[in-house]
Amino acid sequence: MIRSSLEAVCDGIVSGDKLKEYQEQCLKESISLQRLVNDMLELSRLQNNDFPIDKVELDLLMTLDDALRTIRILAENKKICLHYRRPKSEWYVQGDYGRLCQMFTAALDNAIKYSPSGSHVWVKTWETSEVYGISIKDEGCGIPEEEQQHIFKKFFRSGKTKENGSGLGLAIMKSIADRHCIGLEIQSVYGQGTDIVFTVPLKNL
């Protein structure tokens, strides 16, 4: 599509308003191609255990703050109410700041993307003597039970979804969680909603 549009533009076949439309379409497609290539590169790096990831001491709640900051705009645009009561503590763990932020962003992005306008998304946190827990729960379309076993496979997308996407978000999220020994569970009821639960062991990090 991008190539045929550009060929038409280069051959001078399109002009006026159509030209602008073609240019915007090419820009949109090149952005999503770039995103796809970056996601594929990122996933292959994460899945290669010889590729080191930089872990430093960081506050996990700050990575969640950053992810929420990015996502809040998407939620507002879609009139989805995002509920989060931030604990006043600091959750120090060893990790890769950017990637942990990316992990939460991907989960929040799905919660917003697969939920209808006017619905609610809850971000909950808890703390035990062994883990820090974070859950992201939506009232969206949910995932059919028979598909749930495939959900972390790369390029997997529900047969029912009409949204755009590459199907790499959950695979990247799982790889980041694995590289940090973070537990990741999805509970979903088709037609009712999805709950993603991260459990971060205090000792393993």
Ligand X SMILES: Nc1ncnc2c1ncn2[C@@H]1O[C@H](COP(=O)(O)OP(=O)(O)O)[C@@H](O)[C@H]1O
Q: Which residues form the interface with ligand X (CB under 6 A)?
A: 106, 110-111, 114, 138, 140-143, 151, 156-158, 161, 165-170, 194
The interface region with Mg ion, picked from 55-63, 108-116, 131-139, 149-157 by CB under 5 A, is 108-116
Contact between 169 and Mg ion by CB under 5 A: the answer reads yes
Q: Between residues 140 and 169, which has the closer beta carbon with respect to Mg ion?
A: 169
Query: Choosing among Mg ion, ligand X, none, which partner's interface includes residue 151 (Cβ < 5 to 8 Å by kind)?
Result: ligand X
Does residue 89 come out as left (phi exceeding 0), alpha (psi in the -120 to 50 range) or beta?
beta
Q: Between residues 91 and 174, which has the closer beta carbon with respect to Mg ion?
A: 174
d(CA 140, CA 12): 45
Minimum Å distance from CB 125 to ligand X? Answer: 18
- In single-letter form, the type of residue at position 177 comes to A
State in Å, rounded, how far the first CA of the chain is from the last one.
45
d(CA 102, CA 145): 26
**Shortest CA distance to 96 belongs to which of 58, 48, 40?**
58
Q: Between residues 26 and 43, which has the closer beta carbon with respect to ligand X?
A: 43
Candidate list 102, 110, 158, 199; residue touching Mg ion; CB under 5 A: 110
Strands (DSSP E) along the chain, which ranges? 56-59, 81-84, 92-95, 120-127, 131-138, 183-189, 193-201
Minimum Å distance from CB 178 to ligand X? Answer: 15
Query: Choosing among Mg ion, ligand X, none, which partner's interface includes residue 161 (Cβ < 5 to 8 Å by kind)?
Result: ligand X
